[in-house]
Amino acid sequence: MTALDLSSPVAVVGTGTMGQGIAQVALVAGHPVRLYDAAPGRAREAADAIGARLDRLVRKDRLAAADRDAARARLRPAEDLAELADCALVVEAVVEKLDVKRELFRALEDVVAADCLLATNTSSLSVTAVAGALARPGRLVGLHFFNPAPLLPLVEVVSGFATDVSSATRAYETARAWGKTPVACADTPGFIVNRIARPFYAEALAVYEAQAADPATIDAVLRESGGFRMGAFELTDLIGQDVNEAVTHSVWRSFFQDARFTPSLAQRRLVESGRLGRKSGQGWYDYRDGADRPEPHTAEPADPPAHVVAEGGLGPAGELLGLIREAGIEVREEPEDHGTRLVLPGGGQLVLADGQTSAEFRDVVYFDLALDYRKATRIALAASQDTAPRTLAEAIGLFQALGKKVSVIGDVPGMIVARTVARIIDLAHDAVAKGVATEEDVDTAMRLGVNYPLGPFAWSRALGREWAYDLLDELHLRDPCGRYAPSLALYRHAHASDKREDSPS
C-alpha cells in the first residue's frame, strides 16, 4: 500500500491552530486541500491565515514564490461537508470530545467514497472509540501531529482495534511522503509520547511536593545535568498547565487510575488558581512585564578535596574519574566487591543516586545522574541533616573544581534526573512488551516528539541493563505506593543476562 497520489484531494475538518498546521503540511506537499469548519466563515479565515504563513515562508527564502502561488490555488474553503465528497483523506482536528468526533465521522461516512481514508488527530481519546460508531471502522486511523505541525517532524500513526492494516499503512506512507517521520503505534492511552513522557512532569512535581527543591532549581538540573531542552516546570507553563494536567488525567483514568500515572495535587491547585502558564501571564513562573525570573539554588564556592579514593568505579558516572584527574585532584583507585563510590578526605562518601537516601547511612552525599558529565554545567547533590558539613563541603568543592555549578537539594531517593530517566526507561520497556510500538519507534518518538536528548532504549543501553530496575526497586521499597514498582518487562530485561541459573532454587 503506497501513499496517496498528490492529485488526491485532502480535507481538514477543524480550523484551529492544529487544523491549519495539518492543512499547510498537506498543501505544501502538493495536494489539493479543502478546509471545513462548522463555524460560518472560519474556514475562509483559516485559508487566509495559511496564505499569510506561506507568504512569510517566501520572505524567509524557505518557499519559492511560484510554489506559494500554486499552493494557494490548491487551497479551497468549504462551506458544507458535501464539498468533501471527492477527498481521498479527511483529517479531523476538532475539539477533544468523543461525542463530537463520533458525530462528525458518522456524517462524513455519508458523504465520502467508500475508499476514503478517515483520520483523527486526537491526542488523548481512544481511536477505537472514535471509530466505534462507524459502519466501516477499518478505514479510520489516528494521525497524531505535534504542534506546530509544519515544523515538528513526528506523526504518531495509531491503529485502533478495528483499523485495517491497509489503512494504517497508507496513512503511514502518506505522512512520510509529506516529509514527516511517522511511527506506528497501537491504540493505548497516550499512544507513545504522552504515555512515556508522564514521568518527566510527574517526578519534577513529586520532588517539588516533597519540598526538596524549587521549580527553578529542578528545571536547571533537568536542563544542565539531564540534557533536556527545557525543564518540566517551564515546559508545562509553555504547554499550558490546564492542557498538561488534562492529558495526565486522561492517561491516568484510561489506565484505571494506575499509580504510575497519578496526577499532581500541586498542579491541580495551580490550575484551580487560574495560573495556566504563559498564556495567562503566570504559572510556575511569572511572565508579566517587569517580573523577575527566579534563579536556581547554587552553592557558594568551596575548596576542592586534595584527593579522592575511588572504590569500585562509578558505573554510569565513571567518566568523572578522568575529569577529576584533569582538574589536578589525585584519584586513588581501590577494588570493591559491593557498591561504587568516592571516599573523600574527611571519610565521607560520594555516591551516584541509586534510589536510597543519605539519611540511611553514616556520612553520605548523593550526586545526580548526568547525560554527559563532561558537558554538564550543573550537578545536584543531596545530603541529610546528619551528613557531616565537611563531607558536603568537600563534595561541593569537588564538582566546582570540575567547572560545574552545584545545587544542593533535599534528601529524596533517586534525586531528580536519575528517578526521571529510570521511570521513562521503565514505561518504555513496558510499552514495547505490551505491543504499543517497537523500540526503534519509541526512541524516535521521544526524541522528535518531546526533544529528549536520548531515546529511552538508547539511554537504557548507555546506563546498563540493570541500572533502571535497581534504582526503581530501591525507590519502591521507600515509597511502596506502586508508582515506582518496576514493570515485569523491566524486570525481565534486567535479569536477561548471564546470571540465569539452570533451575529455580
Positive or negative CA dihedral for 391, 392, 395, 401? negative
Other CB atoms within a 10 A radius of the CB of residue 63 amount to 17
Q: Which position among 31, 92, 121, 123 bears the catalytic label?
A: 123
* 121 assigned to active site: no
How many whole angstroms separate alpha carbon 375 and alpha carbon 489?
32
Name the pairing type of β-strands 117-120 and 75-78. unpaired
How many whole angstroms separate alpha carbon 316 and alpha carbon 418?
11
How many whole angstroms separate alpha carbon 437 and alpha carbon 443?
10
Q: Which position among 121, 126, 144, 225 bears the catalytic label?
A: 144
* 123 assigned to active site: yes
How many whole angstroms separate alpha carbon 46 and alpha carbon 20?
6
Smallest Cα–Cα separation from 116: which of 139, 91, 83?
A: 139
Q: How far apart are the first and last CA of the chain?
A: 52
Sheet strands side by side (includes 349-352):
330-334, 307-311, 341-343, 349-352, 364-367, 378-382, 405-409
Cis-peptide into 137, omega within 30 deg:
no
- Cα dist. 451→160, 178, 186, 229 in Å? 26, 21, 22, 7
How many whole angstroms separate alpha carbon 170 and alpha carbon 174?
6
Catalytic machinery residues: 123, 144, 156, 194
